[in-house]
Structure 1
């Protein structure tokens, strides 16, 4: 049955596809599914998205261009995957469900980032362009809120959020790409030509 609207809610902390890739000897990225290791988590997450998308929208197939409204709720405001990166993970699962034909259908995407320690999740709404359009307004706030300052960590990969612009000891922390926890000095493994840092605890889970 073809319709012009669908909604999908998947509970749990959203994850990024890039954090679960393994590389073979030729440098080609692979995503393991049943290795029994930590990296299987992404494939299982994709399967969960696919299942929930289909169960929540039985017999619906969206075939036209779409407007996507994505609301992501993380456990913590301090450390989490880059929101822009998790959209690929989400739409891979949505496409796999058959709810959409191809993620290239997404013509407009609007992303909102929130925090819910007790109920992390994402909520995705899809609107067919033949029946819906989107409008947005940017305007000055009546009451200004406190700035959330983003400062680069010393490894140049992760951003650490501070509520003030003062230099903090946290700005020099190295962050593990997998568990997103601070890494102690010399207690990590470099990967992807030095671009990725993995704490030894997470590294040992891989093998």
Structure 2
């Protein structure tokens, strides 16, 4: 039966497909499902999504383009996969369920990230574009919340610190900055920084390179 709406809720912490890829002898990426090891987890998760999508929406088929609203609930605020990466995992399972024909049908998507220690899950709603349209707005808060900052991975902290130290040196009026191409002194209003802020170029040399 062709429908214009469907909703799927799958319990458990969402996982990313990219974390479970292996390569065969020819270098081709594969996703094992019966190795008896940790790597089978993704294939099992995809099958779980397919089963839940079909059981929660019996005899439902959406053939046209759809608007998707995805709400992801993680156990932890600090440790979880990138939310942008898990959409592939989820829609592979949804496609396998037969709820949609192909995940290319998703033309608009909203992804929201939440946290629920006791009930990690994802909730997905699909709306047929012939009957629904999407409207959204971003409003400035009357009172600002405490910002949620993200620290760089440990293997990148050293590079970030180096760049920060380099920027401090650049701002010093006593330092002489030399263009790495022509070797001439560069003034603050004629300088372009490249290579993550480690290479100085004058604007004239930059123009000549194009």
Gaps of 5+ in 1: 157-207
Rounded Cα–Cα distance in structure 1 between residues aligned with 2:128 and 2:50: 20
Give the Å deviation of 1:28: 1.4
Q: Aligned to 2:150, what secondary structure does the other structure show?
A: strand
Q: Aligned to 2:107, what secondary structure does the other structure show?
A: strand
Aligned to 1:100: 100
Aligned to 1:65: 65
Q: Aligned to 1:152, what secondary structure does the other structure show?
A: coil
Q: TM-score, normalised by structure 2?
A: 0.73
Note the aligned Cα RMSD (angstroms).
1.2
Rounded Cα–Cα distance in structure 1 between residues aligned with 2:69 and 2:149: 25
In the TM superposition, what whole-angstrom CA distance separates every residue of 1:150-171 from its partner, at most 9, and x where no partner exists?
Answer: 1211334xxxxxxxxxxxxxxx
Alignment of 1:38-77 (within 5 A): 38-77=38-77
Give the Å deviation of 1:41: 0.3
In the TM superposition, what whole-angstrom CA distance separates every residue of 1:149-199 from its partner, at most 9, and x where no partner exists?
Answer: 11211334xxxxxxxxxxxxxxxxxxxxxxxxxxxxxxxxxxxxxxxxxxx
Gaps of 5+ in 2: 157-210
Aligned to 1:32: 32
Matched, 1:119 2:119: yes
In the TM superposition, what whole-angstrom CA distance separates every residue of 1:58-85 from its partner, at most 9, and x where no partner exists?
Answer: 0000000000000000000001000000
Give the Å deviation of 1:25: 2.9
- Larger CA Rg, structure 1 vs 2: 2
Give the Å deviation of 1:27: 2.2
Q: Return structure 1 stretches of 4+ with deviation > 6 angstroms.
A: none
Answer 1 or 2: which has greater helix percent.
2
Q: TM-score, normalised by structure 1?
A: 0.74
Rounded Cα–Cα distance in structure 2 between residues aligned with 1:143 and 1:126: 33
